[in-house]
Structure 1
């Protein structure tokens, strides 16, 4: 099984990009954890509504606007992922700096494009 990705800002709505990303990540064999405001599931992935201290997160992919990200800075840093992907609309230079200070790679890209082009 491939590395584990945390989708932050997950939605049960099938038209949302976070939902599509969960499905595509699973289709490509990635382990997926998901956090959102509403509990539910996307395929075989449960969307948690409480922050869990995962020990094995390789990538966090963000689907939260920069203002909403602020309350998750410490949580994301505490997970010590290798990288955080800032999807379109989530770009946040303030957070890039904090992540860099904690030796966490930032990538401004679209998770769906990365998966489609085998660059994930």
Structure 2
């Protein structure tokens, strides 16, 4: 029974070190910012950064559907790139069946892209 518990000791040490390091990476920059005086909020620092909407307003505000369409399309094509790299690396080992399955996947992706293009999902007014 003691040998089974001793087998988990490296895992617990790894988790402990990961917890300490992740906490340090989160809280130390905030602490240094407070101590060095760089923490001076002003309207420019609190302004919108990427989305273009005010950051602090009613949470029930309606967003344009185009934001979601662009996000979904980005995820689809990002996953495609994530699948292509490991496939290309292991192509020699998986043979013709692996090549054919990826070609089917790419054709399905191209059909989806053409459909989104024809429906106007990629156009921004």
| TM-score normalised by structure 1 residue count | 0.18
Greater share of helix: 2
| TM-score normalised by structure 2 residue count | 0.18
Please say which structure displays the higher CA radius of gyration.
Answer: 2
Higher relative contact order (CA 8 A, sep 6+): 1
